């Protein structure tokens, strides 16, 4: 009887942990796609900076000066 109770408690704990994992995964997906995630915003900003090339500076040689 005691072993059955222990197994039942362990199964309930495992089920709870799995449910919490599903909830965290679902909320992280929702936050990513709605734009409320800080790491997602940082990645988007880095990508936009990488795609916008800066204008090339004109190099002046010592002979022209």
Query: What range does the domain containing 18 cover?
Result: 1-30
What confidence category does residue 33 fall into, taking pLDDT thresholds of 50, 70 and 90?
confident
Q: What is the pLDDT of residue 2?
A: 87
Q: In whole angstroms, what is the distance from residue 1 CA to residue 24 CA?
A: 35
Residue 10: inside a domain: yes
Average pLDDT over residues 36-40: 61
Looking at the structure of the chain, the number of domains it has is: 1
Residue 53: inside a domain: no
**Alpha helix locations (H) across 1-65?**
2-34, 38-51
Exposure class string for 23-44: b at 16+ Cβ within 10 A, else e? eeeeeeeeeeeeeebeeeeeee
């Amino acid at each position: 009887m005691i072993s059955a109770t222990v197994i039942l408690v362990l199964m309930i704990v495992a089920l709870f942990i799995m449910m919490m994992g599903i909830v965290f995964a679902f909320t992280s997906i929702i936050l990513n796609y709605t734009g409320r995630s800080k790491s997602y915003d940082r990645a988007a900003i880095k990508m936009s900076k990488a795609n916008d090339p800066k204008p090339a500076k004109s190099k002046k040689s010592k002979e022209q000066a």
